[in-house]
Amino acid sequence: MRTEELVLQNNKLRVTLLSYGASIRGLEMPDQYGVMGPVHLVLDSAEQYRDPDRNPYLGASVGRYANRISNARFNLDGNEVALKANEGPNQLHGGERGFARCMWQVRTHEHTPHGGSVTFALSSPDGDQGFPGNLNVLSKYELDGDTLRILYTATTDAPTVVNLTNHGYWNLDGMATVRAHCLRLNSTQFLPVGTDGLPVDSLQSVQGTPFDFRNRTLLEDALNARPAGFDHSYAVNGPLGQLRFAALVDSTLSGRWMCVRTDQPAVQFYTGNGLGLPFHKFGALCLETQMFPDTPNHPELGSAVLRPGQEYRSVTELRFGVGPHPLLGKE
């Protein structure tokens, strides 16, 4: 099946989407001089996105469970669920054939004066990558002025776990790395993980650690303090389930900024530590709004269980601009 490419645009942003992985292929916006340019990593052709060696989940809709599940198994209602492992003994981003590696159906494509929207649909059968229940998923991208809104919804016919996210790779300058970017996270706690990316402790305070981004921090300084880079989950301050400020990234080189709001409990901050050709290490940053890694095996981190009659829902808003951020210091 051919990958469909769709465009949403207005006088501020141009967003290119792909049916493969229900993905953001690219996003273009002006810099401080009014010159349009890309702020998301892009492969040369739409078909290259099907190659997992080239495509590290670029802008993809990730599921059935984003992030990692230890030993590719968990307990659900007293029964052990065995998943298909794809990262050593663990499962990452829903398995080898997770949602990011699937062709989604284009359900709607609408244009409006403010931008428009695209809705992708996917049916994941019972037993898909080991997950129970037939799951029906919608991924909706809505462009409204300077904001790209991403809405995920899902329903199931049997108890299962669901955790969806968009795996955008952002670089506001179009430079080789994001070291010149600055980041602020609305978080006082992060989740310590081992070399396998799985939790090794409960949520910890960021105070006095290299993981403290409560104030605007230059990534050059952060990466000097932690040369291995970052791939950690942060608890987003504020009421769970309500849309709230999560992150603000900006660069003085281009003058661009991106503000992230979400209703999810956490944001995974990743500095592209594993990026390779045609990209560079630290060539982008990811701010993946989601649940915590391995939540199905850590009830203290919440519940990812979805049951028949319920609707999974996740909302994230990405707002883009140039110059001083109007909410800086007020979030």
Asked if residue 126 is part of any domain, the answer here is yes
Say how far apart CA 308 and CA 136 lie, in whole Å. Answer: 11
Identify whether 330 is part of a domain: no
The pLDDT tens digits of the residues spanning 101-149 come to 999 999 999 999 999 999 999 999 999 999 999 999 999 999 999 999 9
Residue 331 resides in a domain: no
Distances from the Cα of 61 to the Cα of 15, 25, 98, 252, 271, angstroms: 15, 11, 9, 30, 19
Domain, as residue range, for 173 = 5-322
Asked whether residue 293 is domain-assigned, the answer is: yes
pLDDT in tens, 260-274: 999 999 999 999 999
SS3 (DSSP) at 50: helix
- For position 64, which CATH number holds? 2.70.98.10
Count structural domains, the chain: 1
Residue 62 lies in a domain: yes
State pLDDT tens for residues 312-321: 999 999 999 9
What pLDDT does residue 324 have? 77
Each residue of 156-169: pLDDT tens digit? 999 999 999 999 99
Point out which residues pair with 124 in neighbouring strands: 135
Residue 1's pLDDT is 83
Confidence at 78, pLDDT banded by 50, 70, 90? very high
**What DSSP character marks residue 224?**
H
Give mean pLDDT, residues 244-250: 97
Q: What is the pLDDT of residues 277-326, one digit of tens each?
A: 999 999 999 999 999 999 999 999 999 999 999 999 999 999 999 987 66
Residue 248: pLDDT band (50, 70, 90) is very high
Question: What mean pLDDT value characterizes the chain?
Answer: 96
- 327: in domain: no
Tokens, residue 214: 């409560």
Residue 331's pLDDT is 43
Token pair, residue 71, equals 């030993």
pLDDT bin (cut points 50, 70, 90) of residue 327 is low
| 66 has a pLDDT exceeding 80 | yes
- The whole-number average pLDDT for the span 239-259 is 96
- Quick check: is 328 in a domain? no
> Which residues are the active-site residues?
167, 288
CA atoms of 76 and 156, how far apart (whole Å): 15
Query: Does residue 73 lie within any of the structural domains?
Result: yes
**Helix, strand and coil percent figures for the chain, each rounded to 5:** 10, 45, 50
Cα dihedral 269, 263, 154, 151 in deg (nearest 10): -80
